[in-house]
């Protein structure tokens, strides 16, 4: 039996070590951070992983050794000790110190995440069952309003045609923001609790009816970043994604001009939103 | 302490057949009822899990419409928490607490019967809610309003079921506390009690504390839904976030309620199979009490994205991380118990070691979730699902298996099939990890929870997870076979089945334990 236990222990360690080593690939870890906050989150998670790995090897190294050596079948006779205040003290204090070490940078990030002051562009995101509504309420683009709905065709969802590359992560109208500017997002909801989440930006905030909460991000690189609703909101919870397109400043100015010219993009007044009668 | 009087004078006779099981006030019978009920519910919840993993096997909607999928996830959670794990632990408490403290039965024997028989009523409400118009509740086992204010009769049935389950737990806990505090054999001071009894004493206090809070939350959702109140409706002046506070004030201690008895079982098994006393008994008691106390102060770590102020996020982050300290102490004490022992690896020991190994991984992902900035990314994703399945399945469930294998010889007088038991263990270990380890990656990569369909980059790991889940589910059929086979016969168990066992049920009672045991209390030195 010891052979297979060894196998199990070894494969356990290997899997863990292998997986820890594969951290840079986006299939195994957070997507590549695009904002300073997302970068801090990525780094703190990596630090936590390394600490966990060290503790894992320490504890299960000792336990694995004991399982192999301290067994009746090889004739090992049990000792009789069963307490030691010194040892208990040590293995209480060291974890406390490790936790303090982890919470120090985390505290700084928490405070930084909350500071949404002096934003360049402010956009209100309203969660509906089952889509998002966006109103640009301050900064360049003020007055722009539109709904943003899933644009993946139903026949892809129903397996009647091949799924596109951005299956379930594409919308008809994207949230467009300029590079290098502080963007503040206000979240609220029209009906039930939703949550606005874009992993690459490191932003997630519940959108709660009757509440307004905010978050901020700042992206240097142009690109398209996709996220999903992150709070169960009914049957189409998995079908109301978020797409943020970050454009160079000049392109953004162009986009604003086009949007303000075409007045046909959707009404923002929530009183006119048709409520589906079956919410389940 | 006075022995419970045998008023009806039928000390050698008891009802048989259905009436026996309906009217029994015997802690062994009631323990058996709880355990059989919970095993059945494990398969009901497991069936729902198979449905979930079948739908998630590939992208696209195949077998479950989104609203049905949501009700599957909702009922899977409710049934596993309230129908499988909690009743199983109460079943263990019923069987083992009197035996381990030298008492003839529980303090309130008839209340005990009622505590059990409430459960099938609640289970029926939950299961039949699938078949009413509108289907079963689909707002998650956490049923946040305003979403839970929508939804039909199935949601009201769920809410009633939760009330009934709560009543059962409260009554059972009062019984357990009273029994432990008042009916210990002479000489068994609190600090001489077995760890399993300690963990149940502390768990029972937690239950009595938080179950009424859940009842409050449930009642307010019921009245918002049916009587025009606005507790959680912003338009009426209420507050949806208040529900989350109330629910999680129950909800966080609830998960410790599910794990503390597991710690207790493992604290019995590791010393027995190491042939060495538990290392640091008093620390283990204090650590358990600390975990229970701290668990009351961390609830808002389920709400880090709800919009609370910085001070709130920081407080709950620090408090949550702090729980890792006494939990770590327990893991180190178990390891120190094994260290320089003389170990054998029968099935209870295998499940206990597997518990420690995998529960620690679940603990690590818990510490990761406690870090607020990281939690902003992983909240409501598959990372959280991975975390809690590691601590609840390879944690609580593995400990339940460990305890079942450990005590089956005492309950039945027969040895279980050791070779089949080992198959059960290894297959469970492998399939569990295949099912759930990859879910950490899914969460980190950005897959939200409670969705029936997903973007293409999540496809590979979802397929792997589903295969693991199907394997894990099938493996549990083996456990049922092993239990039935053991109950019906098998190698006769020695009274003290396990060489290293030291607790009263092993040292003072035959195997199987007699229907009425310790009618005269033993004296404990």
B224/B233 Cα distance (integer angstroms): 8
**Which backbone phi and psi does B446 adopt, to 5 degrees?**
115, 20
The string of DSSP letters for B94-129 reads HHHHHHHHT-SS-SSHHHHHHHHHHHHHHHHHHHHG
Q: Which residues of B touch A20 (CB under 8 A)?
A: none
Chain B, residues 43-82, CB within 8 A of chain A, namely 59-62, 65-67, 70
From the number of C-beta atoms within 10 Å of its C-beta (0-12, 13-18, 19+), residue B430 rates as middle
A75/A62 Cα distance (integer angstroms): 19
Q: Which residues of A touch B276 (CB under 8 A)?
A: 78-80, 82
Sign of CA dihedral B93, B96, B102, B104: positive
- pLDDT of residue B276 exceeding 60, the answer is yes
Q: Provide the shortest C-alpha distance from residue A272 to chain B (in Å).
A: 17
Q: Provide the shortest C-alpha distance from residue A11 to chain B (in Å).
A: 11
Q: Give me the pLDDT at residue B182, please.
A: 98
A133/A148 Cα distance (integer angstroms): 6
Task: For residue B495, count other CB atoms closer than 10 A to its CB.
Answer: 16
Q: Give me the pLDDT at residue A280, please.
A: 41
Cβ distance of B345 and A71 shorter than 8 Å? yes
Cβ distance of B445 and A30 shorter than 8 Å? yes
Which residues of B does the annotation mark as catalytic?
A: 76, 105, 141, 168-169, 252, 254, 256, 267, 301-302, 327, 330, 449
Chain A touched by B501 (CB under 8 Å):
no
Chain B, residues 262-281, CB within 8 A of chain A, namely 274-281
Q: Give me the pLDDT at residue B13, please.
A: 63
- pLDDT of residue A19 exceeding 70, the answer is no
Cβ distance of A238 and B448 shorter than 8 Å? yes
Q: Which residues of B touch A114 (CB under 8 A)?
A: 309-310
Residue A205: pLDDT band with limits 50, 70, 90: very high
pTM recorded for the entire structure: 0.93
A25: which 2 tokens? 């690939």
Mean pLDDT within B55-67? 97
Q: How high is the mean pLDDT of chain A?
A: 89
> What are the pLDDT digits (tens) for A162-189?
999 999 999 999 999 999 999 999 999 9
For residues A247 and A179, the answer to whether their CB atoms sit within 8 Å is yes
> What are the pLDDT digits (tens) for B460-500?
999 999 999 999 999 999 999 999 999 999 999 999 999 99
Nearest beta carbon to residue B144 from set A27, A95, A193:
A193
- pLDDT of residue B6 exceeding 60, the answer is no
Contacts of B105 (CB under 8 A, 6+ apart): B4, B25, B26, B27, B98, B516
A212/A218 Cα distance (integer angstroms): 20
Residue A262 host element (H or E):
none
Residue B9: pLDDT band with limits 50, 70, 90: very low
> What are the pLDDT digits (tens) for A55-92?
999 999 999 999 999 999 999 999 999 999 999 999 99
For an interface test with A, which of B129, B133, B280, B377 has the most A Cβ atoms less than 10 Å from its Cβ?
A: B377
Using CA coordinates, name the residue in chain B closest to A202. B377
> What are the pLDDT digits (tens) for B73-106?
999 999 999 999 999 999 999 999 999 999 999 9
Chain A touched by B463 (CB under 8 Å):
no
Mean pLDDT within B335-344? 97
Q: Which residues of B touch A55 (CB under 8 A)?
A: 364
Report CA-CA distances (Å) from B170 to B164, B179, B221.
10, 14, 21
Q: How high is the mean pLDDT of chain B?
A: 96
Chain A touched by B10 (CB under 8 Å):
no
Q: Give me the pLDDT at residue A9, please.
A: 61
B369-372 long-range Cβ contacts below 8 angstroms, 24+ apart? B369/B301, B370/B301, B370/B317, B370/B320, B370/B321, B370/B324, B371/A44, B371/A45, B371/A48, B371/A102, B371/A103, B371/A106, B371/B317, B371/B321, B372/A106, B372/A109, B372/A110, B372/B304, B372/B313, B372/B314, B372/B317
For residues A212 and A187, the answer to whether their CB atoms sit within 8 Å is yes
Chain A touched by B234 (CB under 8 Å):
yes
For residues B95 and B517, the answer to whether their CB atoms sit within 8 Å is no
**Which backbone phi and psi does B515 adopt, to 5 degrees?**
-55, -45
Contacts of B120 (CB under 8 A, 6+ apart): B37
Cβ distance of B336 and A167 shorter than 8 Å? no
Provide the 3-class DSSP secondary structure of residue B140. Answer: coil
For residues B96 and B198, the answer to whether their CB atoms sit within 8 Å is no
Using CA coordinates, name the residue in chain A closest to B153. A280
> What are the pLDDT digits (tens) for B292-334?
999 999 999 999 999 999 999 999 999 999 999 999 999 999 9
A64/A123 Cα distance (integer angstroms): 55
Residue B143 Ramachandran class (φ > 0 left, ψ -120 to 50 alpha, else beta):
left
Sign of CA dihedral B313, B315, B316, B318: positive
Report CA-CA distances (Å) from A148 to A202, A273, B241, B360, B372.
20, 13, 26, 42, 29
A108-112 long-range Cβ contacts below 8 angstroms, 24+ apart? A108/A40, A109/A37, A109/A40, A109/A41, A109/A44, A109/B372, A109/B373, A110/B310, A110/B313, A110/B314, A110/B317, A110/B372, A110/B373, A111/B310, A112/A37, A112/A40
B275: which 2 tokens? 């042939």
B300-303 long-range Cβ contacts below 8 angstroms, 24+ apart? B300/B245, B300/B248, B301/B252, B301/B369, B301/B370, B301/B375, B302/B244, B302/B248, B302/B251, B302/B252, B303/B241, B303/B244, B303/B245, B303/B248
Question: B204: closest CA among B251, B260, B262, B285?
Answer: B260
Find the distance separating the first CA and the last CA of chain B, reported in whole Å.
16
- pLDDT of residue B220 exceeding 80, the answer is yes
Chain A touched by B324 (CB under 8 Å):
yes
Residue A264: pLDDT band with limits 50, 70, 90: low
Pairing of strands A175-178, A242-247: parallel
Q: Provide the shortest C-alpha distance from residue B499 to chain A (in Å).
A: 12
Question: B143: closest CA among B85, B89, B224, B86?
Answer: B224
Percent of all residues in chain A with a pLDDT value above 70, rounded to a whole number: 84
> What are the pLDDT digits (tens) for A24-60?
456 899 999 999 999 999 999 999 999 999 999 999 9
Residue B16: pLDDT band with limits 50, 70, 90: confident
Q: Give me the pLDDT at residue A270, please.
A: 39
């Amino acid at each position: 039996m010891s052979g297979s236990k060894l196998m199990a222990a070894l494969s356990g360690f290997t899997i863990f070590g292998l997986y820890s080593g594969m951290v840079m690939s986006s299939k195994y870890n957070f997507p590549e951070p695009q904002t300073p906050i997302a970068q801090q989150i990525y780094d703190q998670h990596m630090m936590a992983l390394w600490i966990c790995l060290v503790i894992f090897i320490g504890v299960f190294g000792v336990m694995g050794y004991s399982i192999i050596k301290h067994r009746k079948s090889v004739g090992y006779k049990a000792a009789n000790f069963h307490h030691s205040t010194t040892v208990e003290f040590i293995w209480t204090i060291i974890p406390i110190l490790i936790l303090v070490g982890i919470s120090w940078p985390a505290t700084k990030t928490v405070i930084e995440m909350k500071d949404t002051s002096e934003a360049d562009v402010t956009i209100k995101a309203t969660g509906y069952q089952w889509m998002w509504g966006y109103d640009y309420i301050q900064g360049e683009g003020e007055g722009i309003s539109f709904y943003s709905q899933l644009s993946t065709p139903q026949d892809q969802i129903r397996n009647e045609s091949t799924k596109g590359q951005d299956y379930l992560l594409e919308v008809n109208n994207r949230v467009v923001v300029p590079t290098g500017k502080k963007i503040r997002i206000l979240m609220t909801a029209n009906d039930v609790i939703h949550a606005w989440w874009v992993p690459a930006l490191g932003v997630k905030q519940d959108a709660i009816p009757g509440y307004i909460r905010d978050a901020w991000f700042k992206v240097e690189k142009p690109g398209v970043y996709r996220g999903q609703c992150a709070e169960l909101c009914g049957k189409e919870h998995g079908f109301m994604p978020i797409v943020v397109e970050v454009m160079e400043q000049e392109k953004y100015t162009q986009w604003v001009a086009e949007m303000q010219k075409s007045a046909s993009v959707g009404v923002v007044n929530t009183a006119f939103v048709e409520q589906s009668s079956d919410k389940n | 302490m006075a022995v419970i009087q045998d008023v009806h004078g039928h000390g050698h006779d008891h009802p048989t057949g259905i009436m026996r099981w309906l009217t029994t006030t015997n802690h062994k019978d009631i323990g058996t009822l709880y355990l059989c009920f919970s095993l059945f519910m494990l398969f009901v919840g497991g069936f729902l899990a198979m449905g979930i993993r079948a739908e998630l096997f590939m992208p696209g909607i195949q077998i479950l419409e989104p609203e049905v999928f949501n009700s599957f996830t909702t009922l899977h959670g409710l049934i596993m928490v309230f129908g499988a794990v909690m009743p199983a632990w109460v079943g263990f408490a019923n069987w083992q607490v009197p035996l381990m403290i030298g008492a003839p039965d529980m303090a309130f024997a008839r209340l005990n019967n009622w505590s059990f028989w409430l459960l099938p009523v609640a289970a029926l409400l939950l299961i039949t809610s699938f078949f009413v118009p509108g289907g079963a509740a689909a707002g998650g086992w956490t049923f946040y309003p305003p979403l839970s204010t929508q939804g039909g009769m199935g949601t009201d049935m769920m809410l009633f079921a939760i009330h009934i389950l709560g009543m059962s737990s409260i009554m059972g806990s009062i019984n357990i506390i009273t029994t432990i505090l008042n009916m210990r054999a002479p000489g068994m001071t609190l600090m001489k009690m077995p760890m399993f009894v300690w963990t149940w004493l502390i768990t029972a206090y937690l239950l009595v504390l938080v179950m009424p809070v859940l009842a409050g939350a449930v009642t307010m959702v019921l009245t918002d839904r049916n009587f025009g109140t606005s507790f959680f409706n912003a338009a009426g002046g209420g507050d949806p976030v208040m529900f989350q506070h109330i629910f999680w004030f129950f909800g966080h201690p609830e998960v410790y309620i599910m794990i503390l008895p597991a710690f207790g079982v493992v604290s019995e098994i590791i010393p027995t199979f190491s042939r060495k006393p538990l290392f640091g008994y008093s620390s283990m008691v204090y650590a358990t009490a600390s975990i229970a106390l701290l668990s009351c102060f961390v609830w808002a770590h389920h709400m880090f994205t709800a919009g609370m102020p910085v001070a709130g996020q920081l407080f709950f982050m620090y408090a949550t991380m702090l729980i890792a300290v006494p939990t770590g102490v327990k893991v180190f004490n178990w390891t120190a118990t094994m260290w320089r022992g003389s170990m054998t690896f029968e099935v209870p020991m295998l499940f206990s070691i597997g518990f420690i190994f995998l529960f620690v991984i679940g603990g690590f992902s818990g510490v990761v979730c406690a870090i607020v900035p990281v939690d902003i990314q992983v909240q409501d994703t598959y990372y959280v699902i991975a975390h809690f399945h590691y601590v609840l399945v390879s944690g609580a469930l593995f400990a339940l298996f460990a305890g079942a294998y450990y005590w089956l010889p005492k309950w039945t007088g027969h040895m279980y099939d050791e070779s089949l038991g080992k198959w059960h263990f290894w297959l469970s270990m492998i399939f569990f990890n295949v099912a759930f380890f990859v879910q950490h990656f899914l969460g980190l990569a950005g897959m939200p929870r409670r969705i029936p369909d997903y973007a293409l980059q999540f496809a590979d790991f979802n397929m792997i997870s589903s295969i693991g889940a199907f394997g894990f589910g099938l493996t549990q059929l083996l456990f049922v076979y092993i239990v039935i086979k053991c109950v019906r016969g098998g190698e006769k168990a020695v009274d003290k089945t396990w060489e290293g066992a030291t607790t009263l049920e092993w040292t003072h009672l035959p195997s199987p334990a007699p229907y009425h045991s310790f009618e005269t209390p033993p004296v404990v030195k």
